Structure 1
Amino acid sequence: MAAAIFARRVKNQHKLWGWAASHLRILPRPLLSSPSPSPSPLFSPRPRVECLLPSPRSATLTSYFSSAADTKAGQDEGRGSAGDRRDGGGGEEEARDLGRASASCWIDVHLPRSARPYARLARLDKPIGTWLLAWPCFWSITLAASPGALPDVKLLTLFGCGALLLRGAGCTINDLLDRDIDLQVERTRSRPIASGLLSPSQGICFLGMQLLLGLGILLQLNNYSQILGASSLLLVFSYPLMKRFTFWPQAYLGLTFNWGALLGWSAVKGSLDLPVVLPLYFSGVFWTLVYDTIYAHQDKEDDLKVGVKSTALRFGDMSKEWFSGFGVVCISSLALCGYNADIGWPYYAFLTAASGQLAWQIATVNLASHTDCCNKFVSNKWFGALIFGGILFGRLAA
């Protein structure tokens, strides 16, 4: 009886070790070692339970291969972010946020895809040019108002729309004539015509539409103003060529951009009062020489390579000295204009503030920094607003 029981136990031990040997064969060798080896498996102690668990090293390897598999899966699903692998779904929201941030402006959000190149061609995404063109018009219309009266709102609206259209037309002409140059300049190579988004024939058709709409606005003015306004087209069409022939294209731009100082007065009065409007006009020309030379400093390296000219290249390290001289002439001309127009004292208070804004630009601009040049250029909308406020309150107080 005892012999039978012993034989059954031996048989069971053989079965147990046969199973263990077949399942533990793949584990690291140290896990199969026993505290005291025995000549016969019959009398070997039972293996500890810990030997069936993965070792720290095997756990590390498992973790490595698991994370590698997760990474590959994330790549296969479209280069998912760490957030996708970590909590699932959070990466999609991050991607949507990045998509919203990548939309450079309202044009990409609100306009149909087919209209976007035309909007960029007209620089609708950069309204500063429209403001700089509109301010001299607004100054002149407000200056021509009767003492104690507000300016004509209809005329302000018409000239605002005209500034938008004429600025867009000027940019279209510029891009058509300069498409080969724009390709060689870092800041301009992505413009619609230079980059091929629009063909030159499409640009010409768009230009025709802009000029036709502008003509509709011009025909609502008096006859004197219609002739005066039409005469500005010679400046508009010839300005883009000036950088090829002279170091003073910014002065030519000043003559073009400030034509509204003459046109606004004539739209109200039907004629020109030269002692008032000429100082106003030339103050705008010298103002333009300041802000557009600051702007031109962004492209001076590319301009040298391409072979075009600008006041930024002409003035070089003496630019701030030139700016100071232009600023003095600008402010003096504005003071003379106010004196000849017999405007009230608030005008001079605003003029003092505008002088400070212009002096701040000149003193603090870093001409070696593209970003700072752009920021100072854009800040000129506040100079224009200060002069407009001075004329408005000066007229009301007169």
Structure 2
Amino acid sequence: MNDTSHMGDRVADAPSGNFVYKVLPRTLWPYAQLARWDRPIGWQLLLWPCLWSAALAGNMPGALEAGYTLGDLVRHCVLFTIGAIAMRGAGCTYNDLVDHKIDAKVARTRSRPLPSGRVSRGQAQIFILLQSLVGLLILLSFNGFAIVLGFASLAFVAIYPFAKRFTDWPQFFLGLAFSWGALMGWATAFGTLSVAPVILYVGAILWTIGYDTIYAHQDKEDDALVGVRSTALLFGDRTKVWLDRLYGAAVLCMLASFVLTGVHVVVYLGLAAAAAHFVFQTRKLDIDNPDECLKLFKSNTVVGALLFAGLLAGAAFRLTA
């Protein structure tokens, strides 16, 4: 067991002043850390593609006639939020179980609940089941097509923690799992898929690869030492060039998705603002400054919010016309 007495019940790479430490009893802190409740950026980034897709469905001409109302959109957004928090927590707990030995060798992660011994593997497995049950109850409230589609995402969720062991592109596998909501929102609205949400999914994957590459630059030295692979190590000094390509392609995919859907004109304002934020990220990035990398990674929730604001405004116009 690693000596983490200097850390107490906190985790080195987690904020110490988060509200969860004020509202939860100390005995539950390790579980909050396993689920990353003290780091909401993860569930936010998982949630945004769900909300984009749900609002994209609301922008489709004829959505109201097809039975998709503004009330449905709001209800789905609430359910997706609860589901994202639960499933992101389950995914992080699963990832920590898989990476238990690796985390013990990395300075930033060795104080996490499993490598520090504050939670046993058995307790972590029970915690996964409880969180997954919440996600399952949310999923079962949707239509049959969306339920099947939701279960299909578990294949990518299962593969991702192992990807860093066999490919330089683990961020791609994260994108496959984390961007699945870009399909789910549309499927929940209409019980089917079309080209537009599929292209949105591709755009979300490219976005995920970009922001997680920034995140991975925090650990590149430790990753190289323990033999873990990442796009941060692969891109190296050409990271900014690659981010311009990834983010640029993501914007083009989103644009194509919006055009195919026939979104309200206000949606393009949100896309333009998101594109401007991508430019800001690549110009501001210093891959050798871990603190700056973390700030820019977290700033991607702004991208998600900008896109959703435009899509939600467009859906409100369509569904109240």
Same fold (TM over 0.5): yes
Residue 190 of structure 1 is matched in structure 2 by 111
1:169 to 76, 83, 90: 90
- Which one has more relative contact order, counting CA pairs under 8 Å at least 6 apart? 2
CA offset at residue 342 of structure 1?
0.4
Q: Which 5+ residue runs of structure 1 have no aligned equivalent? A: 1-101
Kindly indicate whether residue 72 of structure 2 is the aligned counterpart of residue 159 of structure 1: no
| 8 Å Cα contact 1:286-1:329 kept in structure 2 | yes
| 8 Å Cα contact 2:215-2:293 kept in structure 1 | yes
| 8 Å Cα contact 2:159-2:173 kept in structure 1 | no
| 8 Å Cα contact 1:346-1:397 kept in structure 2 | no
Q: What are the equivalent positions in structure 2 for 1:168-247 lying under 5 Å apart?
A: 168-247=89-168
Amino acid across the alignment from 1:350? G
Kindly indicate whether residue 196 of structure 2 is the aligned counterpart of residue 256 of structure 1: no
Q: Secondary structure at the match of 2:80?
A: helix
Measured in 2, the distance between the counterparts of 1:104 and 1:302 equals 26
CA offset at residue 395 of structure 1?
3.0
1:287 to 204, 207, 217: 207
CA offset at residue 280 of structure 1?
0.5
CA offset at residue 184 of structure 1?
1.0
Amino acid across the alignment from 1:306? V
Amino acid across the alignment from 1:390? G
What are the Cα deviations for residues 346-366 of structure 1, in whole angstroms up to 9, with x where unaligned?
111221111000110011111
What are the Cα deviations for residues 25-81 of structure 1, in whole angstroms up to 9, with x where unaligned?
xxxxxxxxxxxxxxxxxxxxxxxxxxxxxxxxxxxxxxxxxxxxxxxxxxxxxxxxx
Measured in 2, the distance between the counterparts of 1:209 and 1:235 equals 20
What are the Cα deviations for residues 243-291 of structure 1, in whole angstroms up to 9, with x where unaligned?
0000000011001001011111111100001x21111001100000110
Q: Secondary structure at the match of 1:240?
A: helix
Measured in 1, the distance between the counterparts of 2:233 and 2:205 equals 19
Amino acid across the alignment from 1:178? D
Residue 347 of structure 1 is matched in structure 2 by 267
CA offset at residue 110 of structure 1?
1.6
TM-score by length of 2: 0.89
1:330 to 250, 253, 270: 250
| 8 Å Cα contact 2:146-2:184 kept in structure 1 | yes
1:120 to 30, 33, 37: 33
CA offset at residue 235 of structure 1?
1.0
Residue 369 of structure 1 is matched in structure 2 by 289
Amino acid across the alignment from 1:119? A
Amino acid across the alignment from 2:115? A
Measured in 1, the distance between the counterparts of 2:270 and 2:74 equals 22
Amino acid across the alignment from 2:183? L
Q: What is the aligned length?
A: 296
What are the Cα deviations for residues 355-397 of structure 1, in whole angstroms up to 9, with x where unaligned?
0001100111111001000000000000000111111223344
Amino acid across the alignment from 2:51? F
| 8 Å Cα contact 1:345-1:397 kept in structure 2 | no
Structure of greater Rg: 1
TM-score by length of 1: 0.72
| 8 Å Cα contact 1:254-1:286 kept in structure 2 | yes
Measured in 1, the distance between the counterparts of 2:264 and 2:144 equals 31
For the aligned residue pairs, the C-alpha RMSD in angstroms reads: 1.4
CA offset at residue 103 of structure 1?
5.1
Deviates more, 1:217-226 or 1:388-397: 388-397
Residue 310 of structure 2 is matched in structure 1 by 390
Measured in 2, the distance between the counterparts of 1:252 and 1:173 equals 15
CA offset at residue 216 of structure 1?
1.0
Amino acid across the alignment from 1:332? L
